[in-house]
Amino acid sequence: QVHLVESGGGSAQAGGSLRLSCAASGLTGSNICMGWFRQAPGKVREGIARFYTGVSLPYYAESVKGRFTLSQDNAKNTMYLQMNSLEPEDTAMYYCGATRAANSTCFSRTLSSAAFPYWGQGTQVTVSS
């Protein structure tokens, strides 16, 4: 059984930083696509960063590229999202999600959150101006 647990959300001023963690269990084998999503009130869930097992360079959405960094600690089965230069527009509930997919699918800009069957409970990030 796959279990994802996010932590590290909170409040920050614009220009500040936060780091999110996602502890995973039950995910074994290869062809795993795992990433961070966010959903603001009234908006669709947006995929912002993803990685694929065995591939070193993550995918980033344009909205966070250059400000957010995804990393992994395989020994701890934990994925992180370092968020710098935060903006009020980054305010949302942040989720980690996982699925099994091909490499090309994982890095597709059009990959929908609907393709991810495994989700954490989410952690709130609020950025004030």
Contact in structure between 126 and 8 (CB atoms under 8 Å): no
Distances (CA, A) of 31 to 28, 60, 65, 73: 9, 19, 24, 17
pLDDT at 38: 98
pLDDT at 29: 81
Nearest to 127 by CA among 88, 70, 94: 88
- pLDDT, tens digit (0-9, with 9 covering 90-100), for 22-47: 999 998 888 999 999 999 999 999 99
pLDDT digits 0-9 by tens, 8-26: 999 999 999 999 999 999 9
Q: Collapsing DSSP states into helix, strand and coil, what is residue 98?
A: strand
Residue range 92-127, pLDDT digits in tens: 999 999 999 999 999 998 999 999 999 999 999 999
